[in-house]
């Protein structure tokens, strides 16, 4: 810890102005908050540098791509805003966002023990009969025929919330931005003063969406099409 602190703020350096200006009883807390911002900035830079060095697509690249807006927070020690909204079905969203749904998302499937490890680009969708389609979050959320009715209903409700906060419509966003929203991140162009309201309106909807999505995928895994080469026939635990 001492080594990390010296890396962020060498002992020879002077205290930051905000620490010097704090009351004597608050200096330690002020320094801790300042140090967290410095550590967050260093972690963010290292993460983005690592992402730029890895050219091949993969789970790490997907995670950073979908959650870039969240990584832009000044203090990454504070919980992500979507965690501040308590709802009965919050766990599914947390697991989906942190890639802890290995038995449902085909690009993560080998972690569940159902399939052997394959190159990322060969982890095809097991829910639809489109040949050679990557089964990543973008496909499962937005493009897979098996989940089309679910995203259609959810997108309509998200559009309603977008109008409440004078934000561009769902149709104007890229697929990556849409997946980011479905994972609990605020939409592009949302004003900072509206973020709390957005979270209160949208996150419960996303909790419901992810719970319905999991139930649908469990059903599909339990009874895959007979002519699907990639189907998984064993029962979900």
pLDDT in tens, 166-217: 999 999 999 999 999 999 999 999 998 999 999 999 999 999 999 999 999 9
11-25, 36-50, 166-180 — which is least confidently predicted?
11-25
**Which two structure tokens, joined as six digits, stand for 114?**
């159902």
Confidence of residue 235 (pLDDT cuts 50, 70, 90): very low
* Residue 122 pLDDT > 90: no
| pLDDT tens column, 136-172 | 999 999 999 999 999 999 999 999 999 999 999 999 9
Greater pLDDT, 234 or 116: 116
What's the confidence (pLDDT) of residue 219?
93
d(CA 197, CA 167): 13
The pTM (predicted TM-score) of the whole model is: 0.79
Per the prediction, the chain carries an average pLDDT of: 84
Greater pLDDT, 78 or 159: 159
CA-based nearest residue to 43, from 19, 74, 10: 74
Burial of 109: CB neighbours in 10 Å, binned 0-12, 13-18, 19+:
buried
Angle CA 3–7–10, to nearest 5: 100
Cα 2 to chain center, whole Å?
A: 32
The residues, any chain, with a CB within 8 Å of residue 206's CB and separated by 6 or more, are 82, 93, 182, 183, 184
């Amino acid at each position: 810890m001492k080594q990390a602190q010296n890396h962020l703020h060498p002992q020879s350096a002077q205290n930051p102005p905000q620490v010097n200006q704090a009351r004597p009883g608050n200096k330690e807390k002020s320094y801790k908050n300042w140090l967290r911002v410095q550590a967050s900035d260093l972690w963010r830079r290292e993460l983005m540098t690592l992402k730029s060095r890895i050219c091949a697509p993969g789970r790490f690249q997907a995670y950073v791509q979908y959650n870039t807006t969240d990584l832009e927070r000044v203090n990454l020690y504070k919980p992500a805003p979507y965690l501040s909204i308590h709802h009965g079905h919050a766990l599914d969203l947390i697991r989906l966002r942190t890639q802890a749904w290995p038995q449902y998302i085909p690009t993560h499937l080998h972690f569940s023990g159902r399939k052997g490890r394959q190159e990322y680009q060969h982890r095809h969708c097991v829910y639809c009969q489109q040949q050679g389609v990557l089964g990543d979050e973008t496909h499962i959320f937005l493009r897979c025929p098996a989940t089309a009715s679910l995203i259609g209903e959810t997108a309509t409700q998200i559009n309603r919330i977008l109008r409440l906060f004078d934000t561009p419509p769902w149709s104007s966003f890229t697929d990556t931005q849409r997946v980011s929203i479905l994972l609990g991140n605020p939409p592009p162009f949302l004003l900072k003063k509206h973020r709390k309201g957005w979270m209160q309106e949208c996150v419960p909807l996303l909790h419901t969406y992810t719970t319905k999505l999991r139930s649908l995928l469990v059903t599909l895994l339990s009874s895959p099409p007979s002519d699907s080469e990639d189907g998984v026939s064993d029962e979900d635990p």
